[in-house]
Chain A
């Protein structure tokens, strides 16, 4: 099968940036990051065969901060687009190809959160594509996002709902596309990066390159260390110190709530629940207050996401620059 693009999918705080940094350091792979093309552009501007629709789409791309940094040549993008089918996938491929050509690398890849939702569309457009879906222990993931964004709404219930949605897509995609989708556990990647990278290289059909481990291809990682929620890290070193950190960050009741809501799915990915012993008063509070509240958050999150899926996911205005570059 033809070697297609490589997508890194998953939720935020799941190690997607780490995998991006490792893959971006492969001599054959040009990786872009946070372009969110599928989430924010796919299908949003109608039929791209209509010149007016294409121009509206390109205009938003020019103003989208995540794409401004790529410094794209939009004239070339238009020219390339006219040579192929007038589809969103063809437009995205032209855009990514341009970045890869500039880096002089033969294959392109993209790391954007939530890409797992578009697996069907991606494989239809690029049959040779590969999706690497990052999964992290939901307790550690929630702890990491809690440290970073304390005011995030929905609490444990919404955080767990998000994880459940992504992890079930991981299972479904792996079943539907067993040779093209692979789940990568953050813990395995951080603890045994070389073993994991050798497996990943085999899966994507590229030779293992030891230089990937130095993360030279990702300047942020090389110069400043990772984007950990727990403060600066030694540049160029893969730290495992955030694994199991939820024990310091979350309360036992929060851990118990995540385990209650996600127990079955945690087991599917080899995450074992911890025994939580709560005093009688705390236990009553957990059963009568926390659990109903978090269940309500979970249901509300699902309802909100369904509504957003129906309405589309246009770019928020704060992600756009005032004038086109």
Chain B
């Protein structure tokens, strides 16, 4: 096995299977898998050039007071010593924090589960050329994360989010070929052992019997659809909207795109006069806000 194995990142949208993957990888005795420290989306680039000692101190003060980072039990004095030599990109700082934690736990390799970490693929692979990133993806027409009745325009918002995540998956696969994997939630749920074995091969780690036990205990959403099934709880106009606007990416990731299923005039009218315009506006708003956000600008 390759001795120079870099960190592992598990990303993707909410309810796409990240936790299941992190849990099973965490069962490996040599992997230190943490979750939701939010170092990347909260602190990356926020304090300017942290090569400047004043900025670094501001950054360390913020990180030191963050409850989510506290699980890593950072030793800030040691961090300062290590950062006094060489370049100080944010990625290095975050890596040192994780490494401290992994070493303290007696693990040789660290990993992090973070929603949307795929947006940081460029700085991650620049700092950690041997890193591996697993991007979880799930059929946007299934799952519990977006109930269209919840609020007006929620469906457009969620669809825009899904399309952006799928586009990042395509881009990162092209750029980082052998270091990037896109895993479908549905594949994980239907063939968990094969999927995890493949992931272990990708990570250059051994598949261990302990992982088998963890896999047995993992639960998937009861509505996890088999390929080709749709969420029956969804209204036809909602499905039609996702089918229409996410068709390109659905096809690329082998999700079937069917007919709208709208059978009544009332449904068609609801789609044309309400669902479509409202959710299109919501999609446009999401793209606008994402483009202006600090995190949104990172992905380029």
Does B248 reach chain A (CB closer than 8 Å)?
yes
B interface majority secondary structure? helix
Q: A268-B167, A268-B170, A268-B171 are in contact. Are A175 and B252 (CB under 8 A)?
A: yes
Q: Measured between alpha carbons, how far is A270 from B180 in the docked complex, in Å?
A: 18
In the bound complex, do residue A178 and residue B180 qualify as a contact, i.e. CB atoms below 8 Å apart? yes
* Chain A positions 170 through 185: 1 when the CB is less than 8 Å from some CB of chain B, otherwise 0: 1110111011001100
Instruction: Please give, as numbers and ranges, the residues of chain A lying within 8 Å of B174 by CB-CB distance.
Output: 170-171, 174, 183, 268-269
**B169 proximal to A (CB < 8 A):** yes
> CA of A174 to CA of B173 in the docked complex: distance in angstroms?
7
Q: Mark B177-191, 1 if CB is under 8 A from A, else 0.
A: 110111000000000
Rounded to whole Å, the gap between the CB of B60 and the closest CB of chain A is: 36
A176-B254 contact, Cβ under 8 Å, with A264-B248, A268-B174: yes
A175-B253 contact, Cβ under 8 Å, with A168-B248, A264-B248, A268-B170:
yes
Cβ contact within 8 Å between B251 and A175 = no
The A/B interface has a contact count, at CB < 8 Å, of 47
Known A-B contacts A178-B180, A264-B248, A268-B174; the reply to A172 vs B254 at CB < 8 A is: yes
Collect the chain B residues with CB atoms within 8 Å of residue A268's CB.
167, 170-171, 174
Contact indicator B182/A267 (Cβ below 8 Å): no
| Additional A-B contact list (4), CB under 8 Å, known A168-B251, A264-B167, A270-B171 | A172-B252, A175-B252, A175-B254, A267-B171
A179 touching B170, Cβ below 8 Å:
no
A203 at the interface (CB under 8 A from B): yes
Kindly report which residue of chain A lies nearest to residue B173, judged by CB atoms: A174
Give the size of the chain B interface in residues (CB under 8 angstroms): 16
Give the contacts of A132-171 with B (CB-CB under 8 A).
168, 170-171
Contact mask B45-65 → A, CB, 8 Å, 1/0? 000000000000000000000
For the complex formed, measure the closest distance between the CB of A47 and the CB atoms of chain B, giving whole angstroms. 29
Residues in B with CB closer than 8 Å to A175 are 169-170, 173, 182, 252-254
Cα of A219 to Cα of B254 in the assembled complex, Å: 41
B181 near A178 with CB under 8 A, answer yes
Smallest Cβ-Cβ distance to A202: which chain B residue: B178
Give the CA-CA distance A171 to B174 in the complex, in Å.
Answer: 8
Smallest beta-carbon distance A305→chain B, Å: 15
A178 and B252 contact, CB distance less than 8 A: no
The interface bits of chain A over 192-235 (1 if a CB of B lies within 8 angstroms of the residue's CB, else 0) are 00000000000100000000000000000000000000000000
- C-alpha spacing A179/B178, complex, angstroms: 6
A179 to B253, CA, bound (A): 16
Q: Which residue of A lies closest to B184 (CB)?
A: A175
